[in-house]
Amino acid sequence: MLVYADNASTTQLDKRVYAAMAPYYTDIYGNASSLHVMGRKALAAADEARSEIARCINATASDIYFTSGGTESDNWAITGVARALKDKGRHIITTAIEHPAVLNTCKDLESEGWDITYLTVDSDGLIDLAELERSVRDDTVLISIMWANNEIGSIMPIYQIGRIARERGIYFHTDAVQAAGCLAIDVERCNIDLLSLSGHKLYGPKGIGILYKRRGVKCLPYMKGGEQERGQRAGTLNTPAIVGMGKAMELACSSMQEDSSHVRSLRNYFITRVLAEIPDVVYNGPKDDELRLCGNANFTFNDIKGEALLARLDMAGICASSGSACSSGTTEPSHVLLAIGATEDAALSTLRFSWGKYNTIAEVDYTVDKLKEISSELRSATTLFKQFHGDDKYV
Ligand SMILES: *Cc1c(COP(=O)(O)O)cnc(C)c1O
């Protein structure tokens, strides 16, 4: 059996999305900037996708810009606003648990003289709104806070953050990559000025994302080149991927209730079984369904090395993740787990399982059975090792 429980890293392309994209690779291959019929057809398809996406997030189509993915959208939003408003102020507020696309962009700006406040989070990975209000200064130009966290699934109080930002006259950017498909997104109601989305996290293609940028928001163009995307983001439109992104958003919006309740019930069943049947496991992140992404489960398996467990699960055909995909391959503890108060040891004993719409109850059962078996084997091996070599030699 192959169990794909890593949907927060990427998702399987929905076959309906693939079918919608295919003609734009083979038959309707025009450049959307060309004036002839082939170009006009490509442009019409891109604009239809743009309208569909706008409808899904309650935005105006002309405020949607296509990018190469969530990473580019985050980079664009933050550097674009920072550079456009550099004479007004150089202070940005974000959180300690953002995706590296946000954190590393902020680090870059920091090295160029910007001042960044990284809000702390509580043990559930949620910010304190009072701390946010206290952090706002006269020179604050941007608040960038993710809608939902990719590692522990915590859902930030976006509506309240938007209200604070609007009252203080500060732009609000949110990385909504993980929220899309699980939560309703309304940029008007939440007073969002800039918002990032990615295609491949919602059963769409990789290499495509959007930046929603409210009309009038001061944010410099990111890519320089031709006049595509109203002069804001140069480069030939990736029409097939754009069509795929539009279809993926349409499907995500129309079946959000069904999909998220299926995913949530699998996830809750998984948690119940793991906590009941495997000793010494800690469930990280919010316990309340309202405060957590529907597919996310994050566990610390005390006294087990996360990487070892992950490798054994992989051999059993189960795809999970240690920390975030972006930091795997290194043994650095996750910045998100450290921020919610985990020790380095605990962080390195932690795995994320992210369930998606194609998973089944049989897959969850298989995963729990394997987890039980493997964790008990790994723990016996550790105990033996310690008997022979002493506690301190176990590293
Ligand atoms: C995956 C992810 C990104 C990056 O999106 P890409 O399209 O892969 O560049 C950004 N933010 C969050 C929260 C993510 O989960």
Identify the band that residue 394 occupies on the pLDDT scale cut at 50, 70 and 90.
low
Per-residue H/E/C for 277-335: HCCCEEECCCCCHHHECCCEEEEEECCCCHHHHHHHHHHCCEECECCCHHHCCCCCCCH
Q: Place 389 in a pLDDT band, splitting at 50, 70 and 90.
A: confident
Average pLDDT over residues 187-199: 98
Nearest to 50, CA basis, from 173, 183, 197: 197
Q: How confident is the model at residue 269 (pLDDT cuts 50, 70, 90)?
A: very high
Closest C-alpha residue for ligand 1 atom 5: 70
Could you read off the pLDDT of 101-116 as tens digits, one per residue? 999 999 999 999 999 9
Q: Contact 361/265 with Cβ under 8 angstroms?
A: no
Per the CB < 8 A criterion, the answer to whether 201 and 73 are in contact is: no
pLDDT-derived band of residue 181, with 50, 70 and 90 as boundaries? very high
Q: Does residue 172 or residue 383 have the better pLDDT?
A: 172
Average pLDDT, the chain: 96
With the most atoms of ligand 1 within 8 angstroms of its CB, the residue from 177, 245, 296, 326 to mutate is 177
pLDDT digits (tens, 9 = 90+) for 348-383: 999 999 999 999 999 999 999 999 999 999 999 877
Please work out whether the CB of residue 296 comes within 6 Å of at least one atom of ligand 1: no
Closest listed residue to residue 1, CA positions, set 339, 387, 375, 315: 315
Contacts of 303 by beta carbon, 8 Å cutoff, 6+ apart: 280, 349, 379, 382
Q: What is the pLDDT of residue 381?
A: 82
Q: For a pLDDT cut of 90, what percent of the chain falls above it?
A: 93
- What is the arithmetic mean of pLDDT over 276-280? 98
173 in contact with ligand 1, CB cutoff 6 A: no
pLDDT tens digits, residue range 308-338? 999 999 999 999 999 655 555 667 899 999 9
pLDDT category of residue 219 using cuts at 50, 70 and 90:
very high
Tokens representing 152 are 């522990």
Q: Which residues pair with 354 in a beta bridge?
A: 6, 296
Distance CA(199)–CA(140), nearest Å, equals 31
Non-local CB neighbours of 44 within 8 Å, separated by 6+ positions: none
**Atom 10 of ligand 1, residue of closest alpha carbon:** 70
* Dihedral angle computed from the Cα positions of residues 156, 160, 164 and 167, in that order, rounded to the nearest 10 degrees: 150
294-314 confidence digits (pLDDT tens): 999 999 999 999 999 999 999
pLDDT given at position 330: 62
Helix, strand, coil percentages (3-state) for the chain, rounded to 5, are 45, 15, 40
pLDDT at res. 110: 98
Residue 122 is given by DSSP the state: -
Taking the centre of ligand 1 as the mean of its atom positions, its distance from the CA of residue 54, in whole angstroms, is 19
First vs last Cα of the chain: how many Å apart?
33
